[in-house]
Amino acid sequence: MNRLQKNAWIEFGVAVIAALLSVVFITSMVASNVRGITYVIALVVACCVIGPFVASFAYKDESKYDERERMIRRRAFRWATCALILFLILACYVPFFLIGGQGNIPIYYLLIIFWGSLLITQTVHSSVILFQCAKEQDDG
């Protein structure tokens, strides 16, 4: 397993953990109906937990990868962006057409869209990297 695959697995693992934590976070927030300053404090605590995930995703040092690895990452990024756009379109338009223009949706749905988009992006990104690496190894 090369470092690209190892990083992909780590990023994917952190994304899953962050998603699970956020499910717990959202559920508890909804149950206790928090708002205002309580919400801000809870958010800061949640960010401290989920921060490492964002940091690992956002601040990758590209210079340590060679040209081939950078190309794989670029392709994975393109796929992840396409998946994100598709997910956002579906998540935004499907409820609108199902419920209707004059209906209402629970506000925590917006948070679910946010966490869902993070998870989908990271999952596709890692999967494409792993798939490309596996394919290259098969080809020799």
In terms of Cα–Cα distance, which of 14, 37, 27 is closest to 106?
Answer: 27
Q: 1 vs 55, which CB is nearer to another protein? A: 55
Give the shortest CB-139-to-another protein separation in angstroms. 29
How many Å is the Cα radius of gyration of the chain?
18
Give the shortest CB-61-to-another protein separation in angstroms. 15
Give the shortest CB-2-to-another protein separation in angstroms. 25
User: In one letter, which amino acid is 36?
Assistant: G
Buried b (16+ CB within 10 A) or exposed e, 111-121: eebebbbbbbb
Give the shortest CB-98-to-another protein separation in angstroms. 9
Q: 36 vs 140, which CB is nearer to another protein? A: 36
What is the CB neighbour count within 10 angstroms for residue 34?
15
Helix (H, G, I), strand (E, B) or coil at 102: coil
What is the CB neighbour count within 10 angstroms for residue 76?
21
Residues that bind another protein (CB under 8 A): 26, 29-30, 32-36, 39-40, 43, 81, 88-89, 91-93, 95-96, 99-108, 110-111, 113-114, 117
Q: 1 vs 89, which CB is nearer to another protein? A: 89
In terms of Cα–Cα distance, which of 130, 137, 133, 134 is closest to 13?
Answer: 130
Q: 49 vs 93, which CB is nearer to another protein? A: 93
Q: 3 vs 74, which CB is nearer to another protein? A: 74
Give the shortest CB-47-to-another protein separation in angstroms. 10
